[in-house]
Amino acid sequence: MINEQRRRFLKFFSTSFLTLSVSPYIIGVNQEAFADSRNSFNKHNFFNPLEIGWDDAGPLKESDEKGVFIPEDFTCRVIAKSGEKIIDNYIWHGSPDGASIFPSNDGGWVYVSNSELGNSEGGAGAIKFNKYGEIEDAYSILKNSNRNCSGGATPWETWLSCEEHDKGIVWETSPFKDNSQYPKARKMLGAFRHEGAAIDPNNNYIYMTHDDMHGLFYRFVPGGRVQSEKFYTNGELQAAKVNKDSSISWLKVPDPSALEESIIDQIPEATSFERGEGIAYFDGKIFFTTTNDHRVWLYNPSKNNLSIFYDGKGYFNKSSPLKWLQSWRKDNQGKELQSPDQITVSNNGYPIVAEDGDNMELCFLDHKGFAKPLVRIEGHWLSEITGPAFSPDGSRLYFSSQRGKTGSRSTGGITFELRRKI
């Protein structure tokens, strides 16, 4: 997930490789898609009902000693630092990345976070909170994997942890301590530079993004009942070919393990996307981001239709480096979304997107097509915001500065809890 744009800083952003053009929306939200997403909210959505809204949060106030800007009626605390023990137990992993929340039976919850370290030092860790939001425990749920970037929570309460390298695979693991059934390698989900995963609970299809300049958009069709081995071994990995009418033809991937040929090369007719990143399920829809063309996409499985939910490409290409640097320092007047990365969705259908840029912002994408900052972190210039996830009642938002102020992959990471005063 390291953004090449950040390394170059002021060198601006060049050509687009995306061959798809399915929407006329140049700046702002696809209003039809936005209304459809909001109006159909289902309280039985399996993932984070978010009973407390966040879209009305006020302007950011001045930062605290941690360099974090937050709205007036919010508090922020550090819950973990890479390389340091949590409650004298688990040492929090380096490079905290994609994350999710799992409710526990005692009224508390578990925050699961990937580690994007390489050289078999990656994996995933978990922090257990009680019903009062106090940390009770912390532990590892996956060890000795590589560059675990993002992933996805399943309706059957497991975590799909995705490796981001050319032969990266998906590991399925349990968020709960001492579950002897996991972790398990799910190689049928493909070998490629995985980013995120989102599951449609209506049929348990698994949708995935591919962090490559010519990356594909995937779905996995299961071949058996949930949590059976046949679910994966008899299933089929497919990649999207977007047609002129914005419908999708799903193409079978001949060899998901990519032993002799990369998946991209196996199906050259599949549609390429400019670095697929975050992905989230919300009420029958699949949202995903593409970083290099500053877009948020919306796939509607029931209509088999792909649309551009938000398009910041037109504005961004017209911006000067100076204008860009000035824009992020303004108060919450609203600004264009830049380099969208990981994503979640609030209870009223507003995408919440982590920008993979030097402004280090976590933003609401509002109905006017502006990215309204909810969090900004200053002084962490070699880092990025990762792992946004809400507590089950929506009162707390967790996220990380992956490499913190030091830029260290192994010890720089800081994980925060943003809490709204009720």
**Domain definitions of the chain by residue range:** 4-8+32-420
Report the phi/psi class of residue 50: left, alpha or beta, with left for phi > 0 and alpha for psi in -120 to 50. Answer: left
64 vs 187, residue with greater confidence: 187
What are the pLDDT digits (tens) for 166-217? Answer: 999 999 999 999 899 999 999 999 999 999 999 999 999 999 999 999 999 9
Span of 38-52, 251-265, 394-408 with lowest mean pLDDT: 38-52
pTM of this structure: 0.87
**Region 121-130: what's the mean pLDDT?**
98
Long-range interactions of 18-25: CB distance < 8 A, separation 24+: 18/272, 18/273, 18/274, 18/290, 18/293, 19/271, 19/272, 20/242, 20/271, 20/273, 22/242, 22/246, 22/306, 22/307, 22/308, 23/246, 23/307, 23/308, 23/311, 25/308, 25/310, 25/311
What are the pLDDT digits (tens) for 285-338? Answer: 999 999 998 899 999 999 999 999 888 765 544 443 334 333 443 444 455 677
What are the pLDDT digits (tens) for 340-390? Answer: 899 998 777 778 999 886 578 898 887 666 778 889 998 888 999 999 999
Evaluate if residue 101 carries a pLDDT over 70: yes
Evaluate if residue 9 carries a pLDDT over 60: no
Q: What is the 3-state secondary structure (H, E, C) of 303-365?
A: CCEEEEEEECHHHHHHCCHHHHHHHCCCCCCCECCCCEEEEEECCCCCEEEEECCCCCEEEEE
pLDDT of residue 329: 39
Report the mean per-residue pLDDT for the chain.
83
**Region 29-50: what's the mean pLDDT?**
44
pLDDT of residue 346: 77
Give the fold, CATH level 3, of 4-8+32-420: Neuraminidase (2.120.10)
Beta pairing class for 276-282 and 248-252: unpaired
Give the pLDDT band of residue 97 (cuts 50, 70, 90).
very high
User: Which residues, other chains included, contact 132 with Cβ-Cβ below 8 Å and sequence gap of 6+?
Assistant: none
User: Which residues, other chains included, contact 352 with Cβ-Cβ below 8 Å and sequence gap of 6+?
Assistant: 54, 343, 344, 345, 346, 362, 363, 364, 365, 374, 388
pLDDT of residue 183: 97
**Region 247-255: what's the mean pLDDT?**
98
225 vs 350, residue with greater confidence: 225
